[in-house]
Amino acid sequence: MKNKALKRLIFGLVALPVCFSLFSFTLLPTTKIDTVVNSGFKLKTIIVDAGHGGAPTGTGHFSHGASGSFSTERGVTLAVALKLQKAIEKNVDGVHAVLTRKTEDDVSFEKRAEIANENKGDLFISLHCNALPDRVIRERVGTKRGKGVYKTARVADKSGKGVLMLVYALKRTKEQQNEIKSNTLEEDIDDGSAVDPNDPITVILTNEYNRRFRLRSIKFANILASEFVDEDERKLEGVREQSLYVLCHSAMPSVLIEIGYITNPEEEQYLNSEEGQDAIVKTIVQAIKIYKDDVEQVAK
């Protein structure tokens, strides 16, 4: 591995804004930059992941996700993903969008990450619908020998509302480091040799890539949060970290978007409407444009 790869990466990394705390997920103020230089990085490929799916033909396996009163998470996320792919390629210059699934059939977590890495994605966006577990209530159903008779029942909790952004948890950092070694560092080897995990340069590169991907994941999640609130007037549940296989096994900045609560009747209608889906897609595309402009230039 040539030292120029290390120098090139470190130059780009030290130029990243350092205002993003690894332990804070609040929206951060934008700092005006007077002069910029081109970092050399170009956002070229975005992976669009429609969460969950139905049982593939001939199998009994499926993960349809949450269900509302008349729709399923797998159907909503696929509809939004198909629209998002087209909107990205139409409205974001020079960017190609790759879907992890194009049909109702489910795709395993492993396969989704594999698709993302094989296509050398620069950003991974996973679409999901949120849901709350049923509430357990205790109600009196009668009297026996002078004492009340009670039974428990489960009722749907329809109170959930808003959007939520998730990035991978720090405790799964080693998993993404392994994916970086397998899928990213090969591009920085000039002599065609395999990645040596014990090479000090490999260790430095892996750690720096991992730091950059996490910072950019948080950056994009914060941009999404601002756009959903300011432009789409959606309620925001925040930006949080969570241990999710599909995020930490994708060797690139990755964000999972809970686009709404399918168990809330009002939000279910919104998620299934053309107006709602178009608004969600428009918001994500605008966030991508802001993110793209930001990561393709660095402050002097």
The CATH number linked to 216 is 3.40.630.40
Confidence at residue 34, expressed as pLDDT on a 0 to 100 scale: 38
- Are 258 and 163 in contact, with CB atoms under 8 Å apart? yes
Beta carbons within 10 angstroms of residue 42's beta carbon: 13
81 pLDDT above the threshold of 50 = yes
Give tens-digit pLDDT for 136-145. Answer: 777 777 788 8
Residue 149 lies in a domain: no
59 pLDDT above the threshold of 80 = no
Mean pLDDT calculated for residue range 265-285: 98
285 pLDDT above the threshold of 80 = yes
Give tens-digit pLDDT for 116-138. Answer: 999 999 999 999 999 998 777 77
Beta carbons within 10 angstroms of residue 22's beta carbon: 11
Residue 9 lies in a domain: no
Residue 271 lies in a domain: yes
Residue 191 lies in a domain: yes
Residue 167 lies in a domain: yes
- Predicted TM-score (pTM) of the model is 0.76
Residue 54 lies in a domain: yes
Residue 207 lies in a domain: yes
Residue 207 binned pLDDT confidence (cut-offs 50, 70, 90): low
Give tens-digit pLDDT for 16-53. Answer: 443 333 334 445 444 343 334 455 789 999 999 998 87
Confidence at residue 222, expressed as pLDDT on a 0 to 100 scale: 97
- Domain, as residue range, for 202: 36-133+159-299
Confidence at residue 15, expressed as pLDDT on a 0 to 100 scale: 43
Give tens-digit pLDDT for 240-264. Answer: 988 777 787 888 999 999 999 999 9
Confidence at residue 63, expressed as pLDDT on a 0 to 100 scale: 62
Instruction: Please state the domain count of the chain.
Output: 1
162 pLDDT above the threshold of 50 = yes
Residue 190 lies in a domain: yes
Tokens 């209530």 -> residue? 137
Mean pLDDT calculated for residue range 76-83: 97
| DSSP symbols for 161-212 | -SEEEEEE-GGGHHHHHHHHHHHTGGGG-SS-PPP-TT-HHHHHHHHHHHHH
